[in-house]
Structure 1
């Protein structure tokens, strides 16, 4: 007996296409966040960790939302051509990419140690003191 809503296993329906695109978008966010974390840790040279984190924070939530839309609008279960499996994968990858992207963004924003409670923040200094510290002439 054949199910009335069943689709061939390799047939590309529009729902499967949207689910696959959202999963790829979320995966791109995970990759961008992972590379940004590696740059922050000093394992990779070149590129900007902050830019990679921002790319991850844009791509991952968009992929997660599209995956959630696919999951919510799916009429049947797995194998019905509604893209349910791809939507779930996109949703999970989107959450992971967003978390990693936020972590990379926070780590890339830390220039040095954060002062503890009761300590005054260190002064960055004026242009004169910075120039003199670099070997320039103090005025």
Structure 2
């Protein structure tokens, strides 16, 4: 193999530069996971606020939804980060994946706090 062929082969194997505003599949996946985590965090916060006001322990369903959304967001973000080839700006959704992990963990913590508060008050879910 000559020098020209190896240079062409390495140039063909290198990923093409991605514009900052190009929506790649990995960026779309990471954005969807981050938005799901954000929605879970919002629901978890609302459920936590409602569980403190009402003695009946309302907010349990919201807490469960926040936990589920947080778990899905964390898994989606971690998978996206695991398969990313490069760092931020490469079009692999690294920033969105990290945001999904943070938002998903926040949703999980808020949902868990709500469930702990409703279980600690002795309220039943019936």
The alignment's TM-score, normalised by the length of structure 2, stands at: 0.79
Name the count of aligned residue pairs.
Answer: 107
Q: CA, structure 1 residues 79+49, in 2 after alignment: closer, same or farther (shift >3 Å)?
A: same
1:55 equivalent among 58, 65, 69: 65
Structural mapping, 1:1-139, within 5 Å:
4-42=15-53, 48-112=58-122
CA apart distance, 1:52: 0.4
Distance 1:36 1:101, change over 3 A: same
In 1, Cα distance between equivalents of 2:84 and 2:120? 43
The question of whether the paired residues in 2 share the 8 Å contact of 1:5 and 1:80 is answered with no
Ranges in structure 2 where 5+ consecutive residues have no aligned partner: 1-13
| TM-score scaled by length of structure 1 | 0.72
CA distance in 1, matches of 2:61, 2:114: 10
CA distance in 2 between counterparts of 1:77 and 1:15 reads 12
Runs of 4 or more, structure 1, over 6 Å off, are: none
Q: What SS does the corresponding residue of 2:36 show, helix, strand or coil?
A: helix
Gapped regions of structure 1 (runs ≥ 5): 113-139
Say which SS state the counterpart of residue 120 (structure 2) adopts: coil
Q: What SS does structure 2 have at the residue aligned with 1:109?
A: helix
How far apart are residue 20 of structure 1 and its match?
A: 0.1
What is the RMSD computed on CA atoms of the aligned residues? 1.8
